[in-house]
With several copies, the nearest count.
Chain A
Amino acid sequence: MTPAIEDKPVRIQEGDFSVEEEVDRIKQSSRGIGAVVAFLGVARDSSGGKAIMSVSFEQYASMALKALEALREDALRRFDIIDARIVHRVTAINPGGNIVLITVASAHREEAFRACSWCIDTLKKTVPLWKKETTPEGESWVVPHA
């Protein structure tokens, strides 16, 4: 049987995700889990003084999913963690809306913090996703800081 889409540990999707469900799923990977660290990226209502009405994400779909899968595998190799899950949305998102959720589970908390922080840093560098901001002046693509 193919697992339901929602059970896949990395996903790129339009719809919203549930933090509780992602945390519950990762907790089911092992009874040896002592720590879960989660990073939730949220759309803000302003950026560098500009009002932001919404942000939206475009992806290079086939490569983005591969890059996200590789990122998870790499995190599992590099850190002493039990499991990691990543879900990123690609759609227009209003302020307060969820963009990305990375959950990392480990026996001890230090590794979960390190791995979760590494995952979001690395996602920004390796996953082909682009953010467009809608402001009162119109739409513009975001150029990330070097």
Chain B
Amino acid sequence: MIRVLFFGMLATKTGVRETHLELKRPGATLSDVMEELGKRFALPPKAPYMLAVNEAQADPSTVLKDGDEVAVMPPFSGGLG
């Protein structure tokens, strides 16, 4: 089981801030999880997502394990008014 967090515009679009997912096979990657989430929440496939695993930016090839925290985030927009 992994924990998935959505932020900003993606929390608005999906209607949830947090969900949980079973990894379907050993060696499943962030990319596999994104495909699954895309189906479940009708996420636009080409939007530029920022991804993190356990609070560190990660790319889609990252292999996940049970207990990981995955964040699916819109591009950051801090710092300016």
A interface residues with partner B (beta carbon < 8 Å): 34-35, 41-44, 55, 57-60, 62-64, 66, 88, 93, 95, 97, 99-100, 109, 120, 123-132, 141-144
Q: Would you mind naming 21 contact pairs between A and B with Cβ atoms under 8 Å apart?
A: A41-B79, A55-B81, A58-B8, A60-B5, A60-B52, A63-B52, A97-B81, A99-B79, A100-B78, A100-B80, A123-B79, A124-B80, A126-B76, A128-B7, A128-B52, A128-B73, A128-B76, A129-B79, A130-B8, A130-B9, A143-B74
- Bound-state CA distance A99–B77 (Å) is 12
Query: Does B50 interact with chain A (Cβ within 8 Å)?
Result: yes
Across the interface, do A88 and B78 meet the contact criterion of CB distance under 8 Å? yes
Which interface residue of B8, B50, B80 has the most chain A CB atoms within 10 A? Answer: B80
- Bound-state CA distance A95–B81 (Å) is 8
Q: Per a CB cutoff under 8 Å, which of A42, A109, A130 touches B76? A: A130
Within 8 A of A (CB), among B26-69: 50, 52, 55-57
CB distance from A69 to the nearest CB of B (A): 11
Across the interface, do A124 and B81 meet the contact criterion of CB distance under 8 Å? no
Across the interface, do B81 and A34 meet the contact criterion of CB distance under 8 Å? yes
Who on chain B is nearest to A142 by CB? B77
Q: How many of chain B's residues touch chain A, expressed as a range?
A: 20 to 34
Who on chain A is nearest to B55 by CB? A63
Across the interface, do B80 and A130 meet the contact criterion of CB distance under 8 Å? no
Which interface residue of B55, B56, B57 has the most chain A CB atoms within 10 A? Answer: B55
Knowing A143-B74, A144-B75 touch, does A93 contact B9 (C-beta < 8 A)? no
CB distance from A66 to the nearest CB of B (A): 6
Across the interface, do A125 and B76 meet the contact criterion of CB distance under 8 Å? yes
Across the interface, do B78 and A127 meet the contact criterion of CB distance under 8 Å? yes
Which interface residue of B12, B50, B52, B79 has the most chain A CB atoms within 10 A? Answer: B79
Query: Does B4 interact with chain A (Cβ within 8 Å)?
Result: no
CB distance from A15 to the nearest CB of B (A): 17
Q: Which chain A residues border B50 with CB–CB below 8 Å?
A: 128
